[in-house]
Amino acid sequence: MKFIFLSCAAILLLFSCNRGIKSTIKISGAAQGTSYNITYLAGQHSNYREAFDSIFKKIDLSLSTYIPASIISMINKNDTAVAVDEYFSEVFNKSMEVSEKTKGLFDVTVAPIINAYGFGFTKKDKVNKVLIDSLLKYVGYKKVRLEGRKLLKESPQVMLDFNAIAQGYTVDVLASFLESKGISNYLVEVGGELTAKGKNINDSCWTVGIEQPNEIVMDGVSLKAILTIKDKSLATSGNYKKFYIEGGKKYTHIINPFTGYPAKSNLLSASVIAGNCMTADAYATAFMVMGLENSKQFLSEHTNLHLEVFFIYDENGAWKTYTSKEFEENVAIVL
């Protein structure tokens, strides 16, 4: 099963020069509808592939809307007997925190509208103003609350979709597992979202690249920036890979929860560095909804969040970049 959002943010490419080094363990595979790459320094016999697979399965059973028996699916079907687990609680609480900070521009209750556009876990509807207006009545982060292990909804029609945050959370859980094993040098990447800790085998910081926001993906890879990252998490959101055109109109997967329509701005992609990947993931999506200028204003008013950003935007047909001062310290080159 997959999270539909996992394919839309996979725009980071990893560089590795550690092949063949026995003390470097690299485990790659497919999970949650995307690929993952986990590289860490440890003893030769510290292969945790089975543990990683178990973590992916447990998170799916909590947060995947593509698994009918998952906790989130049962909540969306109004099963009042279901109790949330730690995974669900942590993601829900962070979602509410980011929703509060962004005044609702980040909202996991936008699920009914995402479904209507065909980006969610149900069949696509014929979208029109009447349908969107009817669904907006059930969108709003204040329409849900967590009391103990029970998720309470204002209306049965309210549904949740963690597609803008659960991928980053998965990275955090995997990183936490490595920490529990005493591993302090690693790079964990799932579908493009990542966390880097310590250094690689060459005693250098981990190096990653941010891809050009091209709608047409070719065999070659076009990078926009190369940066080093240490003891931080990085997530990127963009509207250029998950979209469709119908009736001459382009529909993208990032929805403005106030209008019910795809977010429109000149911002092409938003990359965010934060202390954990769940936070970076959520704010990357929020900034795509805000747009360039509102995002810059938000950052100036919320310096206590310690978010570092790299934006790619369109200015009269020309691609330009905005880099926060802190992020700029990590960037080796902008292409």
Q: Tally the C-alpha atoms within 13 A of residue 144's C-alpha that lie toward its C-beta.
A: 31
pLDDT at 153 over 80: yes
User: What's residue 74's pLDDT?
Assistant: 98
- What confidence score (pLDDT) does residue 39 get? 97
Which residues in the chain belong to E strands, given as ranges? 12-14, 24-31, 34-41, 144-147, 150-153, 186-190, 193-197, 206-211, 223-229, 232-238, 243-246, 249-252, 267-274, 308-315, 318-323, 331-334
Sorting pLDDT into bands at 50, 70 and 90, what band is 1?
very low
CB–CB of 61/170 below 8 Å?
no
Which pLDDT score, from 0 to 100, does residue 209 have?
86
Cβ count near 125 (within 10 Å): 15
- How many Cβ atoms are within 10 Å of 249's Cβ, its own excluded? 9
* Per-residue confidence (pLDDT) for residue 12, from 0 to 100: 46
Given a cut of 60, whether residue 130 has pLDDT beyond it is yes
Residues 223-240: tens digit of each pLDDT: 778 888 989 999 999 875
**Range picked from 172-176, 219-223, 266-270 for highest mean pLDDT:** 172-176
Residue type, 259: T
Mean pLDDT value across the chain:
86
**What per-residue confidence (pLDDT) applies to 317?**
85
Q: Cα separations (Å) of 272 from 225, 245, 246?
A: 13, 28, 31
State residue 92's pLDDT score.
98
Q: What is the pLDDT of residues 78-100, one digit of tens each?
A: 999 999 999 999 999 999 999 99
The pLDDT tens digits for 245-275 are 555 565 456 899 999 988 888 898 999 999 9
User: What global pTM score does this model have?
Assistant: 0.89
> Which segment of 121-125, 141-145, 177-181 scores lowest on mean pLDDT?
121-125
Number of CB atoms found within 10 A of residue 100's CB: 12
- Examine the pLDDT at 9 and tell me if it is beyond 70: no
